[in-house]
Amino acid sequence: MVYIAPSLLAADFAELGRELRRIKRADMLHVDIMDGRFVPNLSIGPGVVEALRRRTDLFFDVHLMMEDPLPYISVFRKAGADGITFHAECGEPPQEIIAAIKASGARPGVALSPKTPVSAIGSWGEDLEQVTVMTVEPGFGGQKMLLEPLHKVIELKMRLPWVKVEVDGGVNLDTAPLCKAAGADILVAGTSVFKAEDPYLEMRCMAL
- Known catalytic residues are 32, 168
- Helix (H, G, I), strand (E, B), or coil: what is residue 55? coil
Amino acid, single-letter form, for residue 112:
L
Strand partners, 168: 134, 188
Handedness of CA 6, 9, 12, 13 (dihedral sign): positive
Contacts of 157 (CB under 8 A, 6+ apart): 165, 183
Distance between CA atoms of residues 176 and 201, nearest Å: 14
Q: How far is CA 146 from CA 70, 128, 151, 179, 189, in A?
A: 29, 24, 11, 11, 14
95 vs 204: CA distance, rounded Å: 36
CA-to-CA distance for 136 and 161, rounded, in angstroms?
A: 24
